[in-house]
Amino acid sequence: MASKPRIKLDKKEAKKGDLVEVKALVSHVMETGQRKDAAGNTVPRKILNKFTCTVAGKQVFAADFETAVSANPYIQFKFKAQESGTVVLTWTDDDGSTIVGEETITVS
Amino acid sequence: MTTTFNRRQTLALGAGAISLAMFGAVPALAKNDAEEAIKKFTGGKTPVQGKVKLDLPEIAENGNTVPMTVTVESPMTEQSHVTDVMIVADENPRSAVATFHFSPASGVAEANTRIRLAATQDVIAVAKMNDGSFFIASKQVKVTIGGCGG
């Protein structure tokens, strides 16, 4: 998975206690395992099943995705600005590989 | 013992059957394991209506990607916050859609993603609070072209 996730924070600089909104989009087929190909064989399941977001090493949000999450999963959530640091978004694939995206936030 | 019904009894019986059918329809008659999934999530507790807000379009033209926002009313402090929100769809091949995990660091219990809906159905959100209480909300979405499979 070489594709780079697209991440957008609604503000790069925040005051302590502010809510920061994160929008992220990642390319992935999110194959449900229920579809059949032209030959009638079931296409094996392959989805991103886990998503986590940490800010300065602390988890602020996480999600478990199931097959009912659309292809190229989009996720939007907020977190409370506490300290400056790196915002790390991690998606975990069924095969164990991960897609990682980073942004920085400055908290004053 | 043979029982014969006269006209009045038959009518009364019919009315009873109808009211029974209506009562039966109140907890949505799910085709998949949505109800069990909720039970498992709540540990058998009955979730209370309220606090949870599900934002979905009333009519989804394309079931492959339906925008969904879930918001839970909560101060999100150490004393009182939302820990998990589970989303299920009761007529998808599999009921589970996603589970969101929050903490006081989230600041607000709100998440948005895009989901697949196979047919017109209810989408249900169940929120778990840190004090062990559960809240529920549901919203029906009419789907013109189903997602999942194809």
pLDDT category of residue A37 using cuts at 50, 70 and 90: confident
Q: Compute the nearest-CA separation of A46 from chain B (Å).
A: 14
Of A91 and A40, the structure prediction assigns the larger pLDDT to A91
Q: Are the CB atoms for B144 and B59 separated by under 8 Å?
A: yes
The share of chain B scoring above pLDDT 90, in percent, equals 69
Residue B124 structure tokens? 């249900």
Rg of chain A (C-alpha set): 16
Chain A CA closest to residue B62: A70
In one-letter notation, the amino acid at residue B148 is C
What's residue B23's pLDDT? 46
Determine, for residues A74 and B114 on separate chains, whether the beta-carbon distance falls below 8 Å.
yes
pTM value > 0.80: yes
Give the DSSP H/E element, type plus range, for residue B15: helix B7-25
CATH 2.60.40.2470 correct for B33-143 = yes
DSSP state of B104: G
Tell me the chain B residues in contact with residue A63 when contact means C-beta distances shorter than 8 Å: 98-101, 111, 113
Q: Compute the nearest-CA separation of B35 from chain A (Å).
A: 17
In this structure, how many other beta carbons lie within 10 angstroms of the beta carbon of residue B123?
25
* Structure-token match 């994160």, residue found: A22
* Structure-token match 């399941």, residue found: A45
In this structure, how many other beta carbons lie within 10 angstroms of the beta carbon of residue B58?
8
Tell me the chain B residues in contact with residue A74 when contact means C-beta distances shorter than 8 Å: 112-114
What's residue A34's pLDDT? 86
Cα–Cα distances in angstroms (integers) from residue B46 to residues B41, B106, B121, in the given order: 10, 26, 21
Q: Which of B91, B102, B123, B141 would best serve as a mutation to test chain A binding (most A beta carbons within 10 A)? A: B102
Give yes or no for residue A84 having a pLDDT over 90: yes
Say yes or no: B137 contacts chain A, CB-CB below 8 A. Answer: no
What ipTM describes this predicted complex? 0.91
Of the candidates B98, B101, B110, the beta carbon closest to that of A78 is on: B110
Domain range annotation of chain B = 33-143
DSSP state of B105: G
pLDDT category of residue B26 using cuts at 50, 70 and 90: very low
Rg of chain B (C-alpha set): 20
Phi, psi angle pair for A11, to nearest 5°: -150, 140
- What three-state secondary structure class fits B106? helix
Give yes or no for residue B20 having a pLDDT over 70: no
Instruction: Name the β-bridge partners of B53.
Output: B71
Q: Compute the nearest-CA separation of A83 from chain B (Å).
A: 11
Of the candidates A63, A70, A79, the beta carbon closest to that of B114 is on: A70
Q: Compute the nearest-CA separation of B84 from chain A (Å).
A: 9
Determine, for residues A59 and B103 on separate chains, whether the beta-carbon distance falls below 8 Å.
yes
In one-letter notation, the amino acid at residue A20 is V
Determine, for residues A71 and B103 on separate chains, whether the beta-carbon distance falls below 8 Å.
no
In this structure, how many other beta carbons lie within 10 angstroms of the beta carbon of residue B20?
10
Q: Are the CB atoms for B106 and A78 separated by under 8 Å?
A: yes
- CA proximity to A52, closest of B25, B111, B121: B111
- E strands, chain B, in order: 48-49, 52-55, 59-62, 66-72, 82-89, 96-101, 109-115, 121-129, 134-145
Say yes or no: B99 contacts chain A, CB-CB below 8 A. Answer: yes
Q: Considering only CB atoms, which residues of chain A are within 8 Å of chain B?
A: 19, 32, 34-35, 55, 58-71, 73-80, 82
Please list, in sequence order, all residues whose beta carbon lies within 8 angstroms of the beta carbon of residue B63, skipping any fewer than 6 positions away: B116, B117, B118, B119, B143, B144, B145, B146, B147, B148
Q: Compute the nearest-CA separation of A36 from chain B (Å).
A: 8
